[in-house]
Amino acid sequence: MSIDFEAAGDGVYVVTLNRPERLNALDPDHKAALADVWRQAEARDEVRALVVRGAGPKAFCAGSDFKEMKRTGKTVGTDALADAIPTVGLELTKPVVAALHGYVVGFGLTLAIHCDIRVAAPQARLSFPEVEHGMLSGISDITLPGIVGEAAALEIMLTGRAYDAEEARQIRLVNRIAPDSFGDALATARLLAGNSQHATRLTKRLVLAERRATIARHLQAVAQARLDIEQSSRHAAVVGGGAQPRARMA
């Protein structure tokens, strides 16, 4: 499995999306592995803070690996998808810092916005291009307005265009820009790990209480929207005489 979970000292653990040959795109098995990492991190007292990064020079994560999903026929249900995203399906009270570089696309950006702090390298490019391909990013549709505001969230989601690091910083999609995003994220995680673990857990739980309640309240609507996308894909294939459908499940 190409999800690495390693100690970096001082209570900090690094989660590496380690598929650089696929721009760290993730298939259902990798998403299940991520869910397992969040479970371990929450359960283990020695884990005080986490950094999430992507291997290789080109991408943090280019989204879902649709090529592999098409080959295997495996997709991810909404509940399993929620578990793969930090502090969505499974509560994760340990702080998580995202070190972003290169492509941060689709599910990759979903991972990033559900981390607690986002540090972007100057060349990072962030986008939710799902609508261009007849897709959606349902859970992030719920979360994003609370981060950047409704107007910016609608522009990001409905245009599908890529935002450079400075644009992302200006709309608070990322916290800051650093030439060495991983080094900065690691230093930040060490700072967080040095704080009171009990106070950190309670603070994070309270800050994210409304967001988690909102997601839980709308998760069935997300599941229905994903089902509608899947059904429209099947209909398009039938009407088109077996043509490749544009809509795909994550």
**Residue 241 pLDDT grade (very low, low, confident, very high; cuts 50, 70, 90):** very low
Q: Which is the catalytic residue, given 6, 46, 91, 130?
A: 130
Q: What pLDDT, in 10s, does the model give residues 88-135?
A: 999 999 999 999 999 999 999 999 999 999 999 999 999 999 999 889
Q: What pLDDT, in 10s, does the model give residues 51-100?
A: 999 999 999 999 988 777 677 766 789 999 999 999 999 999 999 999 99
3-197 sits in which CATH class?
Answer: alpha beta
Angle of helix 209-239 versus helix 197-207 axis, rounded to 10: 60
Q: What is the DSSP letter of 86?
A: T
Whether 130 is catalytic? yes
Q: What pLDDT, in 10s, does the model give residues 165-179?
A: 999 999 999 999 999
- C-alpha 93/C-alpha 75 separation (Å) is 28
Q: 3-class SS at 98?
A: strand
* C-beta separation of 40 from 4 below 8 A: no
Helix or strand holding residue 14 (H, E): strand 12-17
Model's pTM, two decimal places?
A: 0.91
